[in-house]
Amino acid sequence: MVSIKLMGEDEKFIEVEVSGLPLAVMNAIRRFAINEVPTMAVEEILIIENSSSMPNDVLAHRISLIPFISDIDNYVAPEECTCGSKLGCEKCALRFILRAEAKDEPVIVYSGDMIPEDQNTKVRPVSPKIPIIKLARGQRIEMELYVRVGRGKKHAKWQAAIASLYEPKEGGGDKRILYVESIGSLPPRRILVEAAKILEKKAIKFEEKFREELDKTSKN
């Protein structure tokens, strides 16, 4: 029988002791927490103006690595959206505007300067204090940022967590401890639940495939 004991938790991490699950399954959940639980990040950047000394691609790369507090209940990945639009719709893309100018003195532009078009969204950078660029006098940037749902296996910027699996000091039986530390996009508890859901989805898909194959052979 599977048993799960909560060993520790705060807003950054969760640690559970699990027994009764095969190691391979535990490992799969650990990997899903890292690579497959969806989060949100800047996927596309439209630079309207950049008179800073930072090249467009370097600036875009810096912005794309900023983790976002993610709303995976209200947004879906573009490839799972029904809109079929390249630009996306309100379910699969969230637009932010980043506009800054250094007039009389140098200005540091922070993650908190990215303003969402939808004022009611929960989605925002995990911290407003992440420095993006320093503008010298007279320099100006203006861009549109498209935040979308993605997964760590597609690009590390969507990685939900770091996670590890180890045996408790006072071992015995098949007990293992799963430690999950959130990057900040989702609460640690939610990451574990999502990882378990992904396991379930994959099991269902496997069952469907398996049945399909068996059906084929029975017809021949």
Site for Zn ion, rule CB under 5 A? 81, 83, 88-89, 91-92
The DSSP string of 118-181 is: STT---EES-TT-EEEEEPTT-EEEEEEEEEEE-TTT-GGG--EEEEEE--SS--TT-EEEEEE
Distances (CA, A) of 139 to 60, 103, 187, 196, 200: 17, 8, 38, 48, 51
CB 92 to Zn ion: min, Å: 3
Shorter beta-carbon distance to Zn ion: residue 84 or 171:
84
**46: β partners:** 144
Burial of residue 59 (CB within 10 Å: 0-12, 13-18, 19+) is buried
CB 113 to Zn ion: min, Å: 26
For residue 201, what are its two tokens? 């989805």
Shorter beta-carbon distance to Zn ion: residue 77 or 198:
77
For residue 103, what are its two tokens? 């007039």
Shorter beta-carbon distance to Zn ion: residue 38 or 184:
38
**95: β partners:** 146
Residue reference for tokens 């590390």: 156
Shorter beta-carbon distance to Zn ion: residue 77 or 109:
77
Shorter beta-carbon distance to Zn ion: residue 91 or 189:
91
CB 144 to Zn ion: min, Å: 17
CB 90 to Zn ion: min, Å: 8
CB 32 to Zn ion: min, Å: 24
